[in-house]
């Protein structure tokens, strides 16, 4: 934790200089659960790979249409077009890499942080996907900054995939674990509603594989 504090202070200082604010978020409290050594190693390997973003948006008309559509929907929340495009490309890449529907991840981000990069919940969860700091210690390293865009998305998608695997594909229960509210319907219903009302897209699973 001490190793993370300077990174957090620098992130918050940069936010203040930029005129932003640290906001509370809807996130609950992902619960720490001891991991088997093999699982911990697999999760560490999953978040450690920092391959460049897939350039296929430039080659695929379908992905280009997806990007244009999602960018239009997100414009009210993130006016900066270049940054909006960067975020959407990263969401698509990290979600697809983890075997998740990118639209599901967009719905989760909407509920968790309202697309605020520096969102900080009362429980200490951080960033777009509201990742708890214990994950940085458990499967990251001393340089892990959970306010960094791709780091936050990489951790969040990897964690949700982990919970889906634990729950054998049961999204309701996996979302409950992600939010620290396992067995209660409010959070899974909020994410599903955000996903279906704001981010649904035809053939999204097929698109993720093309």
Q: Catalytic positions, please?
A: 112
Residue whose pair of structure tokens reads 């270049």 in the numeric block: 82
Q: 10 Å Cβ neighbour count for 123? A: 16
Distance CA 104, CA 208 (A): 12
* Tokens encoding 169: 């594909």
Distance CA 191, CA 189 (A): 5
* Tokens encoding 64: 């280009």
Task: Supply the DSSP string of 71-89, one letter for each residue.
Answer: HHHHTTT---HHHHHHHHH
């Amino acid at each position: 934790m001490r190793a993370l504090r300077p990174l957090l202070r620098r992130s918050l200082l940069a936010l203040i200089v930029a005129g932003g604010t640290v906001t509370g978020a809807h996130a609950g409290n992902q619960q720490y659960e001891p991991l088997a050594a093999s699982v911990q190693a697999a999760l560490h390997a999953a978040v450690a790979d920092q391959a460049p973003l897939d350039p296929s948006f430039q080659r695929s008309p379908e992905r280009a249409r997806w990007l244009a559509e999602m960018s239009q929907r997100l414009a009210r929340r993130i006016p900066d077009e270049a940054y909006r495009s960067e975020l959407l490309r990263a969401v698509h890449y990290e979600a697809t890499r983890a075997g998740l529907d990118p639209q599901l991840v967009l719905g989760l981000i909407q509920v968790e942080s309202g697309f605020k990069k520096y969102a900080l919940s009362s429980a200490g969860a951080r960033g777009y996907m509201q990742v708890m700091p214990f994950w940085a210690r458990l499967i990251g390293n001393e340089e892990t900054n959970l306010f960094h865009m791709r780091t936050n998305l990489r951790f969040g998608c990897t964690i949700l995939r982990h919970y889906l695997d634990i729950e054998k594909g049961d999204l309701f229960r996996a979302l409950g674990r992600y939010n620290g509210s396992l067995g209660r319907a409010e959070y899974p219903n909020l994410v599903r509603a955000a996903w279906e009302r704001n981010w649904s897209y035809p053939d999204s699973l097929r698109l993720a594989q093309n």
